[in-house]
Structure 1
Amino acid sequence: MPYDPTLARLANATLLVPFESYHAPRWVLEGLADGISGVCLFHNNLDTPEQVTALNAALSEAADTPLISLDEEGGDVTRIGQARGSDYPGNAALGAVDDPDLTRDTHRSMGDRLAALGFNLDLAPSVDVNVADDNPVIGTRSFGSDAELVARHAAAAVIGLQAAGVAACAKHFPGHGATSQDSHHTLPRVEADADLLHRRELLPFRAAVEAGVQSILTAHIELPGLGGEGPATLAPHILNDLLRDELGFRGTVVSDAMDMDGVSGRIGIPEASVLAVAAGVDLLCLGRRVYEDQIELIRAALVTAVREGRLPGQRLEEAAERNARLRTWIRETSARRAAAPADEPVGLAGARRAVRVDGDLPPLSDPFVVEVDAPAGMAVGEVPWGLAPWFPGSERVAPDAAQADRLIAGARGRDLVVVVRDAHRYPEARALVSRLLDARPGAVVVEMGLPIWRPDCGAYVSTYGAAHVNGLSAAELLGGAVGAPAPGVS
């Protein structure tokens, strides 16, 4: 089959590619020059601020305003805060405060920091309405379980990010909050009728569209209530009839990672990519480890599908045009925005406002801090969490009730503080905490996930997230080695 440079360049325009290094490989720079729309960076690409800035500058020189993206939600899902945790509270904390101005200012500050590092597309915010307590993939990434609350914060987050010249990307359309499975591993199914989905899942996306969001990211979930089978990413009636025609979205449709089993597990990434673009996806986020050889296969699959009539050529042209418009918006917005230093204190201020205490929290003397470990989700990755930075000698333990006697003995004569993360999802963690509380009913429990399981204890502290600033805000209350709280902290 002869090489068609025009078709190949159009196929390139649908690609958002990853790579495995702190420096841009030659194939990436050449690909950007040959029409690849942009890159998606992960923690393996990010080291020091100086390294990230230099990397993004090199990428920017390879083409005219390539998309330089990442998943930076603040809170638990952070790339620039991977080493110690984010300086910004996550959506659950912002939703608990329920001050849209704070949400806007937090995302403006985060956007300013991203822009200073050279990023121009943030695959955030998550605007899913989290109504499934056991949701393994959303949780604290959501502003909450009330659709109207999520909608007003979705709009505020979009406005804040885009005021910094960074394009926002509302996700995961049409809503991943009612799932009990992780689309990284399977195809979750949402059992809700069309009326409920319109009133609940779609409301925040309407708000994001009305706020001028530049891109929307699809979900690899199945919603029979909207008709049809298979993942929303591959469903033309969801991406065109619903998102384009009904919601009036005119920007770029971005896929969730195409290496996830929820979309490509059965058919492979190249075929899933063809079906996604045919369905209405403009920009294929390929995932974490889809590198040069696989990208060539994806490009070839798109070109072949056009030649065989399975993918209309005008669909590739339409996608390329939308992605070019996104790059133009970034270029023009960045040119006229006033540079502003990242307002880092806004993150800690928001985390402090989010903390809730149930029960009486007495002054703690020489506390024995036990952190009950919890697995990191695929979207979160290995990011530090807990109270250990402020309580030297804290002990991180596996969720095993057999350890209770040893820990109780270790806490003798000291105040006991037990730190958990989404304990409602892990019966082993609950069993261990219950054993500890049987012996020490006055202990303090700190929940750094969603505060759904609330045991009887002396005091229950909810941080609504496990970011660095969430931990610091709890440590301040508990008397950790953090210095004096800022004036005005309640």
Structure 2
Amino acid sequence: MISPRRSPADTRLRLLAETVLQPAFAGTTPPDWLRRRLAAGLGGVVLFARNTPDAETTAALTAALRAENPEVIVAADEEGGQVTRLESATGSSWPGNAALGHVDDPELTEQVAAELGRFLAEAGIDLDYAPTADVNSDPANPVIGVRSFGADADAVARHTAAFVRGMQGAGVAACAKHFPGHGDTGLDSHHDLPLLDLDLETLHRRELLPFRAAIQAGVRSVMAGHLLVPCLDRDNPASLSRPALTELLREELGFQGLIVTDALEMKAVHRGADIPELAVRAVAAGADAVCVGMQRTDEESLLALRDALVTAVHDGTLDEERLADAAERVHRLAAWRQEARRSVGTGVPRTAAGRAPLGRLVARRALEVHRRPGAALPLGEAPVVVTLAAPAHAALDGPTAWGAAGPLAELRPGTTGLGLTENQVSSEALDRAAAETSRPLVVVVRDAARLAWVGRALHGLLERRPDAMVVELGWPGTDRPGAVHLATRSPSPVAARAAAELLCGSLPD
């Protein structure tokens, strides 16, 4: 049987459609289907922790991807702090945005972003889905927290710009997210559709300020968030909204780089919807790259996305010029990356031990210490460490380790630890945890002010042991409970180590 001949126009449309797709995949080597699609012109891929167990493996993977298509854009979420891909198993070597915002030294933020950028460049990453430019204006929001530089829009704006300069100065494209701002929402877009319910004046004065700063700093990419913003569009989330992406971001704010969607499988937009249809709506609204495959993808699903875009051009749902413009913006980013790498070069060590101790410096400077008069510090003997183990954040990708029991045990041999989840907390469990009164008690928490069960368990322990010390590794509340309270604003290993060093009296000057 003779296959029907494709017209040159259809071949061109298929190429344009594949150019704007950024799928994920399984494994640490490219599967055969992905090699075929790359050779056919697939424009990008996104890596998750399942692809990046270490930097050396990641570098080999990205080289294999680029061997099939030298212009492919390789993207990853590497924010530092809470969200990391290349260091998912061990935790990030950098404490992240909230710690940097608390220190409030934009030059230091730029240095950290440059170091992180060199690390990514050496591993072959072209586009970092960072920085988080959201203003954490509602500390109870479940999705941003320590991923934000802070609650003050001006501060977030100056650190967003500094991060962009540092990252792109290292030859890796930055991506400001989650446009137009996710910090004043009550839901996590991984699970439901958040509502950003404010007036247009507040949106411009607060949420959009960091994105304006990123654009002025030359940011190469902006990620559209899955959130409903009625003052812009009452019917569509921002990621599928022409008023948000084309009229506001592209025309009013003047952004000319790559607009990428957050993952289309997120329940904020998916919720039973057809993902190929969502891809068409996103590109029609103004998106240039479609991120898919958070839960993995395959050739069949990728071709369904491609064919949906082609069909949409044929039936008039999607303008061909819009699709061509999106593909051209992908090519521009690829050309920028190639030129930037030639200008900057790479060559930093791929292992955490080989990098400069900048992350440790930030973590130490970010420590906020509250000490009640008469509180015993440093620890004179090995403590009991109780960790109130909150569930992993939805933006994480794998069981990233967190907590301070490990570094405390290194500094005070004989330290013992106990982890309590929400289901394990009871009056009897708290009694047992606080029973050994001859030894210091250290309680390690994350987001105790936001997570009601963590706050209740913490105060239950402090009622039993008023002398207990508290290490907060998340976004701190307005009070500082405990005989000694340390706020790190980061769950990263470097932040936990800094807290342990201070508690043990071994923090360097």
Q: TM-score when scaled to structure 1?
A: 0.96
Provide the rounded CA distance (Å) in 2 between the counterparts of 1:242 and 1:151. Answer: 18
**1:431 has 2:448 as partner:** no
Moved more, 149-158 or 227-236: 227-236
Runs of 4+ in structure 1 deviating by more than 6 angstroms, as ranges, are: none
Q: Report what 1:346 is aligned to.
A: 358
| TM-superposed deviation, 1:52 | 1.4
Give the 3 Å change call, closer, same or farther, for CA 143–287 of structure 1 in structure 2: farther
Q: Secondary structure at the match of 1:423?
A: coil
| TM-superposed deviation, 1:457 | 1.9
**1:383 has 2:400 as partner:** yes
Provide the rounded CA distance (Å) in 1 between the counterparts of 2:239 and 2:366. Answer: 34
- Kindly indicate whether the alpha-carbon contact (under 8 Å) linking 1:401 and 1:435 is maintained by their aligned counterparts in 2: no
- Kindly indicate whether the alpha-carbon contact (under 8 Å) linking 1:124 and 1:170 is maintained by their aligned counterparts in 2: yes
- Kindly indicate whether the alpha-carbon contact (under 8 Å) linking 2:239 and 2:261 is maintained by their aligned counterparts in 1: yes
Alignment of 1:268-283 (within 5 A): 268-283=274-289
Q: Report what 2:36 is aligned to.
A: 30
Q: Report what 2:335 is aligned to.
A: 328
- Kindly indicate whether the alpha-carbon contact (under 8 Å) linking 1:46 and 1:52 is maintained by their aligned counterparts in 2: yes
| TM-superposed deviation, 1:408 | 1.4
**1:370 has 2:348 as partner:** no
Deviations along 1:302-336, one digit per CA (max 9) or x if unpaired, are 11111111101111100010110000000011111
Gaps of at least 5 residues in structure 1 are none
Alignment of 1:42-441 (within 5 A): 42-288=48-294, 289-339=296-346, 341=348, 343-360=355-372, 362-364=377-379, 365-381=381-397, 382-392=399-409, 393-399=416-422, 400-402=425-427, 403-409=429-435, 411-441=436-466
Provide the rounded CA distance (Å) in 2 between the counterparts of 1:2 and 1:394. Answer: 68
| TM-superposed deviation, 1:456 | 3.5
Q: Which amino acid letter does the alignment assign opposite residue 377 of structure 1?
A: H
Provide the rounded CA distance (Å) in 1 between the counterparts of 2:201 and 2:331. Answer: 35
Provide the rounded CA distance (Å) in 2 between the counterparts of 1:433 and 1:262. Answer: 32
| TM-superposed deviation, 1:412 | 2.1
Gaps of at least 5 residues in structure 2 are 350-354, 410-415
| TM-superposed deviation, 1:292 | 2.2
Moved more, 191-200 or 427-436: 427-436
Q: Report what 1:468 is aligned to.
A: 493
Provide the rounded CA distance (Å) in 1 between the counterparts of 2:154 and 2:480. Answer: 29
Provide the rounded CA distance (Å) in 2 between the counterparts of 1:349 and 1:456. Answer: 26
Q: CA RMSD in A?
A: 1.5
Q: TM-score when scaled to structure 2?
A: 0.92
Give the 3 Å change call, closer, same or farther, for CA 178–420 of structure 1 in structure 2: same
- Kindly indicate whether the alpha-carbon contact (under 8 Å) linking 1:127 and 1:151 is maintained by their aligned counterparts in 2: yes
Q: Secondary structure at the match of 1:424?
A: coil
Provide the rounded CA distance (Å) in 2 between the counterparts of 1:256 and 1:434. Answer: 38
Q: Secondary structure at the match of 1:261?
A: coil
Q: Which amino acid letter does the alignment assign opposite residue 355 of structure 1?
A: L
Provide the rounded CA distance (Å) in 2 between the counterparts of 1:2 and 1:458. Answer: 77
Q: Report what 2:352 is aligned to.
A: none
- Kindly indicate whether the alpha-carbon contact (under 8 Å) linking 1:226 and 1:238 is maintained by their aligned counterparts in 2: yes
Provide the rounded CA distance (Å) in 1 between the counterparts of 2:442 and 2:432. Answer: 15
